[in-house]
Amino acid sequence: MLCMSPLRVLQALQYLRKLCNHPALVLTPQHPEHKRISEQLAFQSSSLRDIQHAPKLSALKQLLVDCGLGGAGGAEGATEAVVAQHRVLIFCQLKSMLDIVEQDLLKPQLPNVTYMRLDGSVPAGQRHSIVSRFNNDPSIDVLLLTTHVGGLGLNLTGADTVVFVEHDWNPMRDLQAMDRAHRIGQKRVVNVYRLITRGTLEEKIMGLQKFKMSIANTVISQENASLQSMGTDQLLNLFTLDKDEKAERSEPSSSSSEKASMKAVLDGLGDLWDQQQYDTEYNLDSFMHSLQ
């Protein structure tokens, strides 16, 4: 039976994730098959950077066109498009995938689409100005972001469409990225699209996301999401420090005695003071007079 180290397994998973996005992410010049495949594609009057070899880019192009972006037209048509078109956030996990979207799709295939970019290479001090310009300038069609940077408290209500080119193992990261367009001040319906390569590792990633969200929704539901759903004994246990959990587990019958002791403690607390008693006890003038 073949045994692989955890590091090699993670490398293999990362390799498959990149392959789902674009072959150029794995078929680098250092790859042993790079030269042979490049020559084969050149013989077919094609290249590795042709979007026909990357189904996700073809799907993303069609999606942007369906959103009213990238269409050719005159000056009047262009003015109408600025008012009527959708505005899109495109999220990728890898900065290198953003490079491919920018260099292989937007610039050569959709030159009429205006866009900005926000990733880890942008200094933190300049990110607010990029976000502010995108939200306030309707002539900017697309904002390219990495999921890590795009999930850090940004307000991107200028967009009404979110597209995930890549997906994270952690569903909360994707949800945080979605929330960028669902912030206070959003007045339009926000549509979210996920580009998934069928029959690949990405389907398993999305399956794990669904499983984790189901577990979270089961543990934390509407019925138990607040302290009000907790019983009195559960609330009182928050004030105790368990010094020996094993002893408690070995004596399940002690729970009733603990409840009785807790009740006795509460009964012995007495009534709370009224406001006049507090004013008399903690009067600053009386305290200063007692010091003389």
Q: What is the pLDDT of residue 107?
A: 94
Better-scored residue on pLDDT, 77 or 251: 251
Q: Examine the pLDDT at 237 and tell me if it is beyond 80.
A: no
β-bridge pairing 142-146 and 161-164: unpaired
Q: What is the pLDDT of residue 80?
A: 45
Q: In the chain, where are the structural domains located?
A: 55-216
Nearest to 195 by CA among 112, 66, 110, 90: 90
Better-scored residue on pLDDT, 186 or 269: 186
- H or E element that contains 88: strand 88-92
CATH dotted code for 55-216: 3.40.50.300
- H or E element that contains 264: helix 254-267
Under the banding of pLDDT at 50, 70 and 90, the label for residue 61 is very high
